[in-house]
Amino acid sequence: MSATNEKSTIDSVREWVVDHKLRTVGCLWLSGLAGSIAYNWSQPGMKNSVRIIHARLHAQALTLAALAGAAVVEYYDHKSGAKAKRYAKFLPPMEHSHTHKD
């Protein structure tokens, strides 16, 4: 695998994450919850209610981290103008005639 091929794969994953921020956060929450439940069930001597509470707390912390990451990505996209460039192809061209009706 060449470096350009790897970079394009990483870039395509990054673009998908940028375009689907909420879906990404939801998937992270669900995988965090499932992973935490699996880990907690392997620990002996815990009540099931405590396992579920721990799993929810771990998933909630992962979700907050993912939301913070999405906010940072959104901030940098807005600051760099990348978001405007990405959506410009969907908008009709703007005419720059400024006529005022009095």
Other C-beta atoms within 10 Å of 15: how many?
12
Q: Is residue 76 part of a domain?
A: yes
Residue 74 lies in a domain: yes
Q: Mean pLDDT for each 10-residue chunk of the chain (102 residues)? A: 65 80 84 86 88 88 85 79 63 60 54
Residue 73 tokens, joined: 């990505």
The pLDDT score that the predictor gives to residue 96 is: 56
Euclidean distance between CA atoms 84 and 69, whole angstroms: 20
pLDDT of 55 = 86
Residue 62 domain boundaries: 9-39+54-90
Between CA 2 and CA 75, with CA 85 as vertex, the angle to 5 degrees is 85
Residue 68 domain-assigned?
A: yes
